[in-house]
Amino acid sequence: MKQKILNIKNQALEDIKKAKNSRDIFDLRVKYLGRRSEFNKILKSLKDLLSEEKKNIGALSNQTKIELEKAFVNAEENIKTESFDTEAERIDVTIPGKKIEQGHLHPITLIQNEIEDIFTAMGFEIADGPEVENEFYNFDALNVPKNHSARDMQDTFWIDSKKGILPRTHTSNVQVRYMEKHKPPFRIIAPGRIFRHEATDSTHEHTFHQFEALIVGDNVNVANFKYIAEQFFSRFFNTEVTVRLRPSYFPFTEPSFEFDISCTMCGGKGCSGCKNAGWIEIGGAGMVNQNVFMAAGYSRNKFQGFAWGFGLERLAMMKYKIDDIRLFHSGDLRFIKQF
């Protein structure tokens, strides 16, 4: 019986060597180790043997089985690697990949999305208003009456100056529109396109994008504004940013501020990026003027809130180191495809 097992083993090993593909291996495995195989018959007959012989033959059978299994695995492995000529098929992996055309979103869209995401995460709602506005929402309701010199602060395009129709000069037109329909407390942002009657050059545009944030409640104060601004800019620039307020004047806020952020390059120590000032001028802000609340139909001194705004182009220029504001409206794919 021992010889029989050895014969099977030798025959099997011989056949495995000749196997050409996986199918051959599969067939051989069935032939030599399958349920109906000679070898399996031997295994089944072991139980009829005497204990001493049973022990010897059993051990041999097991070892043979292990050996054959190993031979099958090795053979399979060999067949797999030898099924094609690697060298003949070798390619130059350094040749550039096939160009998959991909679209690019405009940098202002990217910035706007980012801003919206940060504010949404802080529970701000995104509000919107018309781009062509009447002077009530653009000026009067914001405490900028007709013939007031404050109107000079924003050079205005007019569509119908008699009826007071204009392309909005700021996103603040959304303030009173929103307040007319909502009661505090609320917090909103209003991003959008605005227009100024201004000659263009590398730092000035007549069409640009602005961003308004407004929180109104019972106790919203200047310290809160500082906090929210710091939260926002720290997240936006991914570095800890502090906010500095300076006195300013806007008819729609009182007190009013210019706000600067600590330079994101040097952290406020002074570098070429901030012209050694340590601070970068960002935008305007202030506590909502009570007259604006009145225009929205709220009672005087019932609520407090802050409003702030700044240009998206400016942020995009800072973030991507863009040196000419006119590129944003150039429609030039050589520009857009970089983002």
Partner 1 sequence: MKYSYNWLKKLSGTKKTPEQLAELLTMKAFEVEGIEKMENKLSGVVAGKISAIQKHPNADKLQLVSVDIGGKKLNIVCGASNIKIGNIVPVALVGAKLPNNKEIREAEIRGVKSFGMLCAEDELGIGKNHSGILILGKKCKIGTPIVKELDLDDTIMEIKVLPDRGHDALSYIGMAREIAAMDGINFKYNFKKLYKSSSRKIKISIENKKLCQRYVGAILKGVEIKESPIWIRMLLRKSGINPINNIVDATNYVMFETGQPLHAFDFEKVKNGEIIVRLAKKGEKIKLLDETERILFKEDLVIADSEKALAIAGVMGGMESGISENTKKIVIEAASFDCVNVRKTRLRHNLSTDAAIRFEKEIDPNLAELAMARVLEIIGISNRKTLEIKDIYPIKASPWKIKLDLCYVKKLLGENISVGNIVRILNLLDLKLSGKGNIVNVKIPTFRIDLKTQEDLIEEIGRIYGYEKIKSQAPKVNLKTAEVNSQRLFERKAKEILAGIGFSEIYNYSFCSEQDVKKIHLNVVKHLRLENPLNSDQVFLRASLVPGILKNVRENLKYFKNFRIFENGRIYKKSNEVLPNERKMLTGAIVLENQKEGIFYEAKGCSELLMNNLGIENYCFESIKEVDSFWHVGRSAEIKINQKTIGRVGEINPQVLKDFGVSKRVACFEFDLRVLQKNTILVKTYKTISKYPTVIRDVSVVSQSRIKADDILKNIKKNGGTLVRDVELFDIFQKENKNSFAYHIKFGAGRTLENQEVDNLMQKIISALEKDLGVEIRK
Please state the closest distance from residue 132 (CB atom) to partner 1, in A: 5
- How many residues of this chain interact with partner 1, rule: CB under 8 A? 81
Among 72, 154, 304, 318, binds partner 1 (CB under 8 A): 304
Please state the closest distance from residue 257 (CB atom) to partner 1, in A: 7
Q: Is there binding between residue 114 and partner 1 (CB under 8 A)? A: no
Among 22, 45, 62, 161, binds partner 1 (CB under 8 A): 161
Q: Is there binding between residue 278 and partner 1 (CB under 8 A)? A: no
Q: Buried (b) or exposed (e) across 119-150, using 16+ Cβ within 10 A? A: beeeebeebebeeebbbebbbbbbbbeeeeee
CA distances from 244 to 38, 283, 285, 311, 320 (A): 91, 11, 11, 18, 23
Interacting positions 49-78 with partner 1 (CB under 8 A): none
Among 211, 252, 298, 328, binds partner 1 (CB under 8 A): 328
Q: Is there binding between residue 123 and partner 1 (CB under 8 A)? A: yes
Tokens matching residue 63: 């070892």
Among 179, 176, 133, 127, which Cα is nearest to 154's? Answer: 133
Please state the closest distance from residue 265 (CB atom) to partner 1, in A: 21
**Which C-beta is closer to partner 1: that of 72 or that of 328?**
328
Among 72, 139, 257, 308, binds partner 1 (CB under 8 A): 257
Interacting positions 168-227 with partner 1 (CB under 8 A): 185, 187, 193, 195, 197, 199, 206-207, 215, 217, 219-224, 226-227
Helices 2-18 and 51-81 pack at an angle, to 10 degrees, of 0
CA distances from 331 to 105, 110, 111, 328, 336 (A): 12, 16, 17, 7, 8
| Alpha carbons 53 and 115: distance in angstroms, whole number | 83
Q: Is there binding between residue 326 and partner 1 (CB under 8 A)? A: no
| Segment contacting partner 1 by CB under 8 A, of 27-35, 48-56, 57-65, 107-115 | 107-115
**Which C-beta is closer to partner 1: that of 61 or that of 175?**
175
**Which C-beta is closer to partner 1: that of 234 or that of 264?**
234
Q: Is there binding between residue 237 and partner 1 (CB under 8 A)? A: no
| Segment contacting partner 1 by CB under 8 A, of 26-34, 56-64, 158-166, 268-276 | 158-166
Interacting positions 19-48 with partner 1 (CB under 8 A): none
What phi and psi values does residue 95 have, to the nearest 5 degrees?
-65, 135
**Which C-beta is closer to partner 1: that of 29 or that of 244?**
244
Among 133, 141, 178, 311, binds partner 1 (CB under 8 A): 133
How many C-beta neighbours within 10 Å does residue 112 have?
Answer: 21
Tokens matching residue 272: 């070429």
Interacting positions 279-298 with partner 1 (CB under 8 A): 287, 289-290
- On the question of a cis peptide bond just before residue 184, with omega within 30 degrees of 0, the verdict is no
Tokens matching residue 86: 């690697």
**Which C-beta is closer to partner 1: that of 61 or that of 112?**
112
**Which C-beta is closer to partner 1: that of 2 or that of 183?**
183
Question: Residue 195: helix, strand or coil by DSSP?
Answer: strand
Tokens matching residue 67: 């050996």
| Segment contacting partner 1 by CB under 8 A, of 22-30, 77-85, 88-96, 245-253 | 245-253
Among 196, 137, 134, 199, which Cα is nearest to 160's? Answer: 134
Helices 107-121 and 222-237 pack at an angle, to 10 degrees, of 130
